[in-house]
Amino acid sequence: MIKIFTDFDGTITLQDVGDAIFETFGGEQCKNIVQAYREGSISAVDCFRQECNACHNVDLDKLNAFIDQQNIDSSFINFVAYCRQQHLDCYIVSDGMDYYIKRILDLHGVGDVPFFTNTLRLVPVGETSHVRFEPEFPYTDEMCNRCASCKRNHLLTMCGEDDIIIYVGEGYSDRCPVQYADVVFAKDDLLKYCQQENISNYEYKTFADIQKRLSHILDNRRADGSVIGLHKRRNAERARRDVFIGE
């Protein structure tokens, strides 16, 4: 079976919504926190906690209005419909926060796409319309600080030995999961990373590009669901095996 995993921020959305929220409500301090994370000075979990603290009290109406203004790749909606038509499982794996992801998906009519991410609790401040951000991290991996919500583990948990894993991404947090994917669609920072690390990939700009490529690939699908010419990537298969045997 073919299973598709896609990043959210900057992949489904046109910008990194999580970064935009923290920079809007937490100010310049949040940029410095993210920079420390990218330099390896702090973990992803610490990064989110510090960003949430920097936001202090946030007006909920302004937060929701800001989220509702965010744009997505309009071809993602058709892509979801295509996946369902072709009986392809599609999941969103994100190192962002569930609150804005669910709100954006619901707004665009694709709220039933399964997603795995961090949790953002909005704690009311007294009797006001303001809230405080309290992050929770149900999907951390004790051996890795790159992501607070471990994308690699989602791939490995959701897939069986015979599944073909397709990954779609664009940024820093996608560098880990592409090492375990058989087919990679990449753009922006992730494209450069794949080129540097010799990870085979298809460059894309929108989900329409991905759908077109998948349609071409699936033209060779057999009656049993397998696809002629679509194979597991040797290095990815080895990486997945090494995880399970503890190397």
The pLDDT tens digits for 127-159 are: 899 999 999 999 998 777 778 999 999 999 999
pLDDT for the residue numbered 228? 73
Find where tokens 């007006």 sit: 59
- What is the predicted pLDDT for the residue at 193? 96
Residue 236 has pLDDT above 60, yes or no: yes
What residue ranges do the domains of the chain occupy?
2-245
Instruction: Flag whether pLDDT at 203 surpasses 90.
Output: yes
| Confidence check: pLDDT of 247 > 60 | no
- Residue 65: per-residue pLDDT: 98
Q: Is 89 helix (H, G, I), strand (E, B) or coil?
A: strand
- Over residues 100-121, the mean pLDDT reads 97
**For the range 175-179, what are the long-range contacts, defined as Cβ-Cβ under 8 Å and sequence gap of 24 or more?**
175/146, 176/144, 176/146, 176/147, 176/150, 176/151, 176/152, 177/5, 177/93, 177/151, 177/152, 179/152, 179/235, 179/236, 179/239
Strand partners, 115: 92
Is residue 246 pLDDT above 70, yes or no?
no
Average pLDDT over residues 163-180: 94
Torsion of the alpha carbons at 4, 175, 45 and 151, rounded to the nearest 10: 20
For CA atoms 48, 51, 53, 59, the dihedral sign is: negative
Q: What is the CATH number of domain 2-245?
A: 3.40.50.1000
Work out whether strand 57-59 and strand 130-136 pair parallel, antiparallel, or are unpaired.
antiparallel
Least confident of 15-19, 32-36, 95-99, 214-218: 214-218
The residue among 20 and 228 whose pLDDT is bigger is: 20
pLDDT at 161: 83
Average pLDDT for 198-217: 94
Tell me the C-alpha distance between 60 and 237, whole Å: 45
Q: How high is the mean pLDDT of the chain?
A: 93
Least confident of 93-102, 189-198, 207-216, 231-240: 231-240
* pLDDT value at residue 181: 96
Q: What is the pLDDT of residues 211-225, one digit of tens each?
A: 999 998 888 777 776
Q: What is the pLDDT of residue 160?
A: 85
Helices (H), 69-205: 75-85, 98-107, 151-158, 188-196
The pTM assigned to this predicted structure is 0.93
Give the pair of three-digit tokens for residue 2: 């073919």
Average pLDDT over every residue of 60-64: 97
Cα–Cα–Cα angle for 232, 234, 240, nearest 5°?
A: 80
pLDDT-based confidence at residue 243 (cuts at 50, 70, 90)? confident
